[in-house]
Amino acid sequence: MIIGMTCSHAGNVTYDGRSLIIDGQHRILFSGSIHYPRSTPEMWPSLIAKAKEGGLDVIDTYVFWNLHEPQFGQFDFSGRLDILRFIKEVQAQGLYVCLRIGPFIQAEWNYGGLPIWLRDVPGIVFRSDNEPFKYHMANFVTKIVNMLKLESLYASQGGPIILSQIENEYGRIERTFHEEGLRYVRWAANMAVELQTGVPRVMCQQNDAPDPVINACNGLRCGETFAGPNSPNKPAIWTENWTSFYQVHGGEPYTRSAENIAFRVALFIAKSGSFVNYYMYHGGTNFGRTANGVLQYMLTSYYDQAPLDEYGFISQPKWGHLKELHAAIKLCLKPLLSGVNSTFPLGQLQEAYVFKGKSEECAAFLVNNDKRSNATVIFGNSSYELPPVSISILPDCKIEAFNTAKISTEYGTRLIKLGRKFDSPDIWEEYKEAIPNFDDSSLTTNMLLVQMSTTKDTSDYLWYTFRFQHDSSYNGAVLNVKSLGHVLHCFINGNFVGSEHGKHDNKNFSLKKIVSLNNGTNNVSLLSVMVGLPDSGAYLESRVTGLRRVSIQDKDDFNDFTNYSWGYQVGLLGEKLQIYKEPGASTVQWTRFGNSIHQPLTWYKTLFDAPAGQDPVALNLGSMGKGEAWVNGQSIGRYWVSFLTSKGSPSQTWYNVPRNFLKPKGNLLVLFEEEEKGNPLDVSIDTVSIVKVCGNVATSHPPPVISWVVGQSKTITKHDGRPELQLRCPPESSISGILFATFGTPSGDCESYTIGSCHSSNSSAVVEKACIGRRTCTIPVSSTTFGGDPCPGVHKALLVDAECA
């Protein structure tokens, strides 16, 4: 086992140029971002426990101003917003907290976490040396800090919060504000310090962070890109190590391998880094309308490829490989934190980072930067084989405990199992959203209004309406609309004429349609749709969204309606009546599905029973177009399955429905569908589970790090030098079958495999005996395990693919 430091309630937290110092001890800390509003309170204990088991010391979260103060002076800390409950759960499980108050957070979050009412404050300029903004920012930050102090949650009070962030990535826009930007940075830092929380403060992506605030790095490669602390008395902190990347509608997922993450972390630690936060460790779900939208067109699912996936499952091999990495680095703590470090070359693209203590402690990080070839290096009179782009960690400067490119952890396969398909027209009812005309307007002006200033984020939808006279019927007129929104649906005289949308890399789009005009009055109704508000950049308070120009060209005239008499309706009638909830649903007349012509802007509702068991639940909306979904009145988020990737598939098909949103029977499902082609008859309520685990471990892999023992004065090993293949099914399941097993020279990997030229005939029998009926099993990877060497002199591996049930 590993004997090392365990987390406890901190008392005194300071820092020097090496690391944070907690109760007099220098610490190397691993942290993971888990955002409390992107999951549910019922999920928090499990997520935090899995993070702890994965070797984390700290849980990191932003504070979400626009959720907590949606209206000026009106605060909400209930349910998923109960930040105190979240922090106390972290504390109860013995972990620390890094609290990133911001209050601007970006985070691919609606309006970067700023409340929309700030736009209406006279004279305000966001995130600058502007008195109105500083007044409201200081008020909110002070309120949060005082709440936390009242509950004794700062380390100086015996609580878990050891680090606090003010602002967020301001360095990206600071130059835009010139001297005002520099003054704002100094003000924000001073304001945070004067709150006297008793813990260090940090600013990420802020090279000029004033003392005593620590400047930190965000990115994929902070071991290479970070210029370092701006003072020799500050430690190197990595506040965001992106474990994958956010995904947008129309975009393919970005996959970051476990090997890549491990290499970058090991390099950062080798270069004297002392704090690494994984962004995200659990991404979760953008429930409701919380995802941002001006350029990103964010999915409802967030960082699903993090070490803990959207549903809270351990994502292998990423989770397990990083767990081994953390354990290997913690074997090196004494020389890392108190030793003398040196760096020297081992080859043209190879180098060693060595830490030697005052006694016999010694740790080494052997680095191969060659992207193509293995490298054999000589270190300490011994030879080491380093795979391409990898780091071997030697806790005693002799024996390799871990290599970033050698994965011994199993690979997991997530499966979505069909539950109930809502394929009967008899179970659905529908309600057609009314198309308003100019006469229905609640607001009229002689200009095109900015959408977000008009809706004030109470809805994604804003109706722009006008009417005009035409002296004859004409079927060839051209409607041209330019928009800084995200989607546009057009109706003339109540008839749908077409839709258009932008993309995440375009700031605007245009709709151009041939339309028919009546002789006399013509009513034009344009529904502009936002998929969230902008979340980044300077001058967010003056950002323009919505329609910017409207014209109609007929055979004789060009009519520009940009400066014209316009009517407006904020949101949809169904939203206003809240027909997605039980009381509101009875306020409108629903009709049986299919009794009228299919058209855009249609509400659908049905009832369903919760799937049996405890597996997570997902709603398959693959047959729908674009809209929003509610279960028992709670929004599970926007969907947009009709926005296809370059490969012709939706970016997201299944949508997370937390179990605590459900009742055993009679759950109300409501869909609002914007498009014509949405078909609820192919919607289904499904369950999610891990159904397979696969391992592929070579005889050249190091043994599990857990086989090392750290004594008080020196490191010794008690393992027999053999690597192990470990398989682990999720809780309440076990290994029910072995799909494939070979010890020898398997061809391929866990995604595609065959038996190679060398194969032990005992492979399946040995693995079945060790694993069938067990939740976890461990198999030593050696010829002895399989009753003999099937091919002497050849490097061998064990590859096993198993079913969980």
Give CA separation, 484 vs 20, 293, 466, in Å. 46, 11, 19
With beta carbons less than 8 A apart as the criterion, state whether 191 and 131 touch.
Answer: no
Q: Is 169 a catalytic residue?
A: yes
Positive or negative, the CA dihedral 18, 22, 26, 28 is: negative
Residue 341: C-alpha distances to residues 26, 292, 365, 461 (Å)? 16, 44, 11, 59
240 classed as catalytic: yes
Distance separating alpha carbons of residues 279 and 346, to the nearest angstrom:
33
Token pair belonging to 10 = 């901190």
Which CB contacts under 8 angstroms, 24+ apart, belong to 121-126? 124/541, 125/539, 125/541, 126/539, 126/540, 126/541
Contact assessment for residue 781 and residue 798, using Cβ atoms and an 8 Å cutoff: yes
**Residue 381 amino acid letter:** N
CA torsion through residues 261, 263, 266, 268, sign: negative
Distance CA 112, CA 539 (A): 12
The single residue of 167, 240, 361, 400 carrying the catalytic annotation is 240
CA distance 511 to 550: 10
Contact at 8 Å (CB) between 289 and 635? yes
Q: Which of 89, 108, 169, 361 is catalytic?
A: 169
Residues linked to residue 242 through DSSP beta bridges, in sequence order: 279
Calpha distance 294→455 (Å, rounded): 15
- Measure the CA–CA gap between 361 and 716, rounded to whole angstroms: 11
E-assigned strand segments in 159-221: 161-166, 201-204, 214-219
Contacts of 184 (CB under 8 A, 6+ apart): 127, 128, 129, 130, 134, 170, 177
Whether 353 and 362 have beta carbons less than 8 Å apart is answered as no
- Reduced to 3 states (helix: H, G, I; strand: E, B; else coil), residue 577 is helix
Rounded CA separation 524/467 (Å): 6
Rounded to the nearest angstrom, the gap between the alpha carbon of residue 677 and the centroid of all alpha carbons in its chain is 30
Q: What angle do CA 512, 514, 518 make, to 5 degrees?
A: 130
Classified as helix, coil or strand, 333 is helix
Using CA atoms, how far apart are residues 682 and 625, in angstroms rounded to an integer?
12
**Rounded to whole angstroms, how far apart are CA atoms 138 and 143?**
8
Straight-line distance from the first to the last Cα atom of the chain, in angstroms, rounded to the nearest whole number: 30
153 in Cβ contact with 163 (< 8 Å): no
Cα–Cα distance measured from residue 23 to residue 517, given in angstroms and rounded to the nearest whole number: 77
Under 8 Å CB-to-CB from 157, ≥6 apart: which residues?
149, 198
Q: Kind and range of the H or E element at 710? A: strand 708-710
User: With contact defined as beta carbons under 8 Å apart, do 437 and 464 qualify?
Assistant: no
Cβ contact 699:760 at 8 Å: no
Cis peptide before 704 (omega within 30 of 0): no
The residues, any chain, with a CB within 8 Å of residue 557's CB and separated by 6 or more, are none
- Beta bridge partners, 482, equal 510, 549
* Residues annotated as part of the active site: 169, 240
